[in-house]
């Protein structure tokens, strides 16, 4: 079950995501198993991951982000253009992101 976020929490995470560079790229092949495998350690380490669907990809950015969020049990924070933001809390992380209530 993916994490449910309130609008306030999404706003907070979008603000944090502004400073991030995309660390996950979806290329010509679209959402593949290797993309999902690359996403897993990123979510464990950072909790908040910014991704980008490249121009060469035929994948729709919103659909690709939703598919990745579902596969990784993460929350889709938002999609702007070809860039998306995913969040999954990691309680074992030394300094986890603290969300507003």
Q: Which residues pair with 84 in a beta bridge?
A: 51, 79
Q: Which residues pair with 24 in a beta bridge?
A: 51
**Does residue 82 surpass a pLDDT of 60?**
yes
Q: Are 48 and 17 in contact (CB under 8 A)?
A: yes
Q: What was the pLDDT predicted at 46?
A: 92
DSSP classification of residue 74 = -
**Does residue 94 surpass a pLDDT of 90?**
no
- Least reliable range by pLDDT among 10-14, 39-43, 68-72, 93-97: 93-97
**Does residue 17 surpass a pLDDT of 60?**
yes
**Does residue 87 surpass a pLDDT of 80?**
yes
Closest CA to 19 of 94, 64, 85, 79: 85
pTM of the model: 0.91
Per-residue pLDDT of 34-43, as tens digits, reads 888 999 999 9
Domains and CATH numbers, the chain: 7-14+22-87 (3.30.110.60)
Tell me phi and psi for residue 85, to 5 degrees.
-130, 125
Closest CA to 48 of 27, 21, 80, 67: 21
């Amino acid at each position: 079950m993916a994490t449910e976020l309130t609008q306030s929490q999404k706003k907070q995470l979008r603000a944090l995501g502004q400073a991030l560079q995309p660390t996950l790229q979806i290329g010509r092949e679209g959402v593949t198993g290797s993309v999902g495998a690359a996403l897993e350690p990123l979510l464990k380490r950072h909790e908040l991951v910014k991704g980008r669907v490249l121009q060469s990809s035929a994948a729709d950015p919103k659909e690709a982000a939703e598919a990745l969020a579902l596969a990784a049990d993460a929350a889709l924070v938002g999609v702007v253009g070809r860039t998306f933001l995913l969040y999954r809390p990691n309680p074992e992380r030394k300094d986890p992101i603290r969300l507003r209530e």
